[in-house]
Amino acid sequence: MTPPDLRGFHGIDIGGSKIELVAFDAQMGEVHRERIATPGHDFQEFVQAIAAIVRRADAVLGAAAPVGIGLPGVVDSLTGRQLSSNVPALNGRLVTPALEEALHRPVVIGNDCQCFALSEAQGGAADGLPTMFGAILGTGAGGGYCSRGRLHRGFNGVAGEWGHWAAPAHLLSLYKLPVIACPCGRAGCMERYVSGPGMSMLHRHFGGDGAAPMVVAARANTGDAIAAKTLSAHLDLLAHAMSSLVLALDPHAIVLGGGLSQLPHLYKQLPEAIKRHLFAGAQVPPILPPRFGDAGGARGAALLVHQHLKMSAP
């Protein structure tokens, strides 16, 4: 492997349907962006697609830049194999070594939620704060914790996976909610209730049609009782999870990401709802919208490889 060319960095955000690469110069200014479809079922085709999109970005940047990748799922800390990815071709594979061999340069893979947090900690909504937590609320629920602009991944690389905390029994009982199986192999995980699909599930549970979150919110604004009950229960469950984050990490800000971060009522009502789940004297940190939105994943991936190279430098 050749030494990294630090005249720039490539950040790649990988999802089940699309791959987005954003190339940045050494000052993290965007110079190139490209999206392609994700080859989801053939590993060699996936590696070749990454190699091709990176070569095109190299040509624009004028440098064979190191590559950071944001990817759903986790890497097994013992074997290095990818787990729980929404790209079937990657599950059980040694993705990082395969890409480093194809690209002849350093490749660092991180969880996409952690990349979001890192992007918002450096130049984003929480820029300059001593600590922050980025909480994703989309098709799932996850996040990342940053201190002084640096992402902390933890022993297993899963720090910030609050979506797989257990939903509290007293709230499941209060709203007569079932204990729902989670794809992670456990049951009753918080993301089954507070993610986008979770909100739709709540709407069905209370007698609605399982509408998408934006539709539920719009109906609640017109006085729809079932939609209003859905938002109230969702807010209570989410507030409990965020209060646990405050007690565990005490971040100076929580930045929301994912599709549900576009719901205005969260920024108005969530702080007071969190406070109800905290003991007296504990204050709720600012709840902030993301600065980079959909661009955060690729930007955070580029920052992740930059952080990795900086930490590993002699």
Q: Which helix or strand (DSSP H or E) is residue 218 part of?
A: helix 213-221
Given CA atoms 154, 155, 159, 162 in this order, what sign does their dihedral have?
A: negative
Residue 300 CB partners (closer than 8 Å, separation 6+): 11, 68, 70, 110, 114, 115, 116, 117, 118, 119, 120
Neighbours of 93 (CB within 10 A): 18
pLDDT of 78 reads: 86
Q: How far is CA 32 from the centre of its chain?
A: 23
Are β-strands 67-71 and 8-14 bridged in parallel, bridged antiparallel, or unpaired?
parallel
Q: Within a 13 Å sphere around the CA of 88, how many CA atoms are in the beta-carbon half?
A: 3
**DSSP one-letter string for 134-148:** EEEESSSEEEEEEET
**223 CB-contact burial (10 Å; exposed 0-12 / middle 13-18 / buried 19+):** exposed
Report the SS3 class of residue 44.
Answer: helix
Beta bridge partners of 30: 24
Give me the pLDDT at residue 293, please: 76
pLDDT means per 10 residues, the chain with 314 residues, are 77 89 92 93 95 96 94 85 83 93 93 94 96 94 95 90 96 98 92 96 98 97 98 98 97 96 97 97 97 82 89 66
Phi/psi-derived region of residue 157, left when phi > 0, alpha when psi is between -120 and 50, beta in every other case? left
Predicted local confidence at residue 294, as pLDDT: 61
Task: Give the model's pLDDT for residue 295.
Answer: 61
- CA 73, 157, 37, 198 torsion-angle sign: positive
Amino acid at position 310, single letter: K
Picking from 153, 237, 158, the residue whose alpha carbon sits closest to that of residue 198 is: 237
User: What pLDDT was estimated at residue 308?
Assistant: 86
CA 126 to chain centre: 15
pLDDT tens sequence across 269-309: 999 999 999 999 999 999 999 998 766 789 999 999 988 88
Output the pLDDT for position 303. 94
Distance separating alpha carbons of residues 124 and 10, to the nearest angstrom: 18
pLDDT, position 86: 75
Whether the CB-CB separation of 203 and 225 falls below 8 Å is answered with no
| Close Cβ partners of 55 (under 8 Å, ≥ 6 residues apart) | none
